[in-house]
Amino acid sequence: MMDRYLFRGKRLDNSKWVQGDLLTRPDGTPFGIRHYNNFGVDCAEIDPATVGQCTGLKDKNGKLIFEGDIAKGSYEETDGRIVDYFEEVKYITDQGGWVLGDEDAFNNLDGISAQEVEVVGNAHDNPELLEGGGERWIKS
């Protein structure tokens, strides 16, 4: 579960994602990520708005799930229709857990549901996936 202490953010110099240890200013504001590369340890200045913590869970393809990721799942309606849904991974402090979507829905992202979803993007690079309420009918 060491992945739970992993963070990611978008670099300011090239807009690429980087994962590693979060660096913060004395006031707690994130400013960088310390990560390993081919030459050893490096530090990258990041956009604080893009920082997301790893949940410590993996999706159905074995990909680590981060705060801010967009997960795709599906469920079957009582009439047999299959619905794809796209929800953002968020941490809700008041409820003490990772959720998919709004805190009102409180869809816990526990080990079972995490293995049933697929990370298809993130809220920073793919906000269009969340348009229209995040649900799409795919079969009737």
Alpha-carbon gap, residue 40 to 37, rounded angstroms: 5
Residues whose CB is less than 8 angstroms from the CB of residue 23 and which lie 6 or more positions away in sequence, other chains included: 30, 31, 32, 33, 34, 43
- How many Cβ atoms are within 10 Å of 97's Cβ, its own excluded? 15
Question: What b/e string do you get for 27-43 counting C-beta neighbours within 10 Å, with b at 16 or more?
Answer: eeebbbbebeeeeeeee
Q: Residue 123: give the domain boundaries.
A: 55-139
Domain check: are 71 and 44 in the same one? no
Q: Indicate if 98 and 128 belong to the same structural domain.
A: yes
Q: How many domains is the chain built from?
A: 2
Q: What is the mean pLDDT of residues 9-37?
A: 93
Q: Is residue 80 pLDDT above 80, yes or no?
A: yes
Please check the confidence at residue 136 and state whether its pLDDT lies above 70. Answer: no
Statement to judge: residues 71 and 118 lie in one domain: yes
Residues 38-65: pLDDT tens digits?
A: 888 889 999 999 999 999 999 999 999 9
Q: What is the CATH number of the domain that holds 64?
A: 2.30.30.290
Query: How far, in Å, CA of 134 to CA of 83, rounded?
Result: 10
Question: What are 41's two structure tokens?
Answer: 């340890």
Share of the chain above pLDDT 90, in %: 47
Q: Are residues 46 and 59 in the same domain?
A: no
Question: For 38-42, 100-104, 115-119, which range has the lowest pLDDT when averaged over its residues?
Answer: 100-104
Q: Mean pLDDT throughout 6-26?
A: 95
**pLDDT tens track for 82-94:** 888 888 999 888 7
For residues 99 and 128, membership in a common domain is answered with yes
